[in-house]
A and B are shown apart, each in its own frame.
Chain A
Amino acid sequence: MDTSDELLQQASPGFARGSGQTRQKAARLSPSFISWLQAGPMMLVFLAFFLIPLVFVVIVSFWDYNEYQLLPAFSGRGYTDTFEGCIAQLPQLCTIGKTYLKTLKLCFMVWAITLFIGFWVAYFLAFHIKSKTWQMGLSLLCTIPFWTSNVIRMIAWIPLLGRNGLVNSGLLKVGVIDQPVEWLLYSEFSVVLALVHLFTFFMVVPIFNSMVRIDKSLIEAAYDAGATGFQTLVNVIIPLAKPGIVIGSIFVITIVMGDFITIGVMGGQQIAAAGKIIETRLNALQFPAAAANAVILLAITFLIITMMSRIVDIRKEL
Chain B
Amino acid sequence: MREGRPRSFYVLALFFAAYVLFLYGPMIAIYILSFQGPQGGLTFPMNGVSTFWLAKLFEGTGIVDLGAAFRRSLLLGLVVMAVTVVLSVAAGMAFRRKFKAQSILFYSAIASLIVPSIITSLGISLEFRIIDDLIKAHWNENFETSMGLLTSGLGAHLTWTLPFGLLIMFAIFNRFDPRLEEAARDLGATPWQTFRHVVLPIILPSVIGIGLFGFTLSWDELARSSQAIGSVNTLPLDLQGLTTTVTKPDIYALGTIISAVSFAVIALALGTIHMLNKRQAAKGSDAGKGLV
Contact = CB atoms under 8 A, between A and B. Distances in A.
A151 B239 contact: yes
B292 interface: no
A91 interface: no
Q: How large is the interface on B (under 10, 10 to 19, 20 to 34, 35 or more residues)?
A: 35 or more
Interface stretch (A13-21, A82-90, A153-161, A238-246): A153-161
A38 B90 contact: yes
A97 B236 CA distance: 32
A179 to B, nearest CB: 17
A155 B251 contact: yes
B114 A152 contact: no
B126 A53 contact: yes
Nearest to B10: A128
A278 interface: yes
B116 A254 contact: yes
A111 interface: no
B216 interface: yes
A45 B27 contact: no
Interface string B179-200: 0000001100010000000000
Nearest to B9: A128
B158 interface: yes
A141 B20 contact: yes
A291 to B, nearest CB: 7
B122 A155 contact: no
B66 interface: no
Interface in A32-89: 32, 34-39, 41-43, 45-57, 60, 70
A102 interface: no
B108 A35 contact: no
Interface residues of A, number: 91
A30 to B, nearest CB: 11
Nearest to A53: B123
A104 interface: no
Interface string B97-120: 101111111101111111111111
B185 A124 contact: no
Contact of A35 (B99, B103, B222): B99
Nearest to B265: A147
A98 to B, nearest CB: 19
A35 B90 CA distance: 9
Interface in A301-318: 301, 305, 314-315, 318
Contacts of A291: 122, 126
B258 A147 contact: no
Contacts of A287: 122, 126, 129
Interface in A160-192: 160, 162, 164-166, 169
Given A49-B124, A117-B19, A278 B119 contact: yes
Nearest to A153: B27
Contacts of B86: 41
Interface in A102-160: 117, 120-121, 123-125, 128, 138, 140-142, 144-145, 147-160
A162 B42 contact: yes
B164 to A, nearest CB: 11
Interface in A200-234: 200, 220, 223, 229
Interface string A240-275: 000000000011001101111100010001000001
A152 B259 contact: yes
B44 interface: yes
B225 to A, nearest CB: 11
Contacts of A269: 244
A265 B90 contact: no
Nearest to B223: A261
Contacts of B252: 155
Which of A149, A290, A297 has its CB near the most chain B CB atoms (within 10 A)? A149
6 contacts: A43-B91, A155-B30, A229-B8, A251-B113, A278-B118, A298-B119
The 4 closest A-B pairs by CB, nearest first: A258-B116, A53-B123, A49-B155, A156-B26
Interface of A: 1, 26, 31-32, 34-39, 41-43, 45-57, 60, 70, 117, 120-121, 123-125, 128, 138, 140-142, 144-145, 147-160, 162, 164-166, 169, 197, 200, 220, 223, 229, 250-251, 254-255, 257-261, 265, 269, 275, 278-279, 282, 287, 290-291, 294, 297-298, 301, 305, 314-315, 318
Given A42-B90, A153-B26, 10 more contacts: A51-B108, A56-B130, A138-B16, A145-B23, A147-B217, A148-B216, A149-B239, A152-B255, A157-B26, A251-B114
